[in-house]
Amino acid sequence: MGTIQWGPTGLRAILFTPTNRPQVASVPLPPFERAGYVLGTGTGLALLGVTRSLVPGSIVLWTQPVGGLAVLLALAGWIQASRR
């Protein structure tokens, strides 16, 4: 396994953004898709917290419907984007 080299070059790359790199255009997400990603991420973090005993296990009961809603929202966003 490799180690991180904390020399001046590595720190400079982390702390400062190079000005000579090309700018990447942002990809617009439909609101449904963005909401699905946000809900899905929250659900995944809650389930991870349950497995690590950071969150009570009773949360699993409401994370399943919220996760299902997240999937439906992401699918709705994909359908909306494909019709443009």
Contact between 32 and 77 under an 8 Å Cβ cutoff? The reply is: yes
Sort 70 into a burial class: Cβ within 10 Å, 0-12 / 13-18 / 19+. Answer: buried
pLDDT digits (tens, 9 = 90+) for 18-69: 667 677 777 777 888 889 999 999 999 999 999 999 999 999 899 999 999 9
**Domain boundaries along the sequence of the chain:** 28-82
1 pLDDT exceeds 60? no
pTM, two decimal places: 0.64
The pLDDT of residue 81 is 85
70 pLDDT exceeds 90? yes
pLDDT band at 2 (very low <50, low <70, confident <90, very high): low
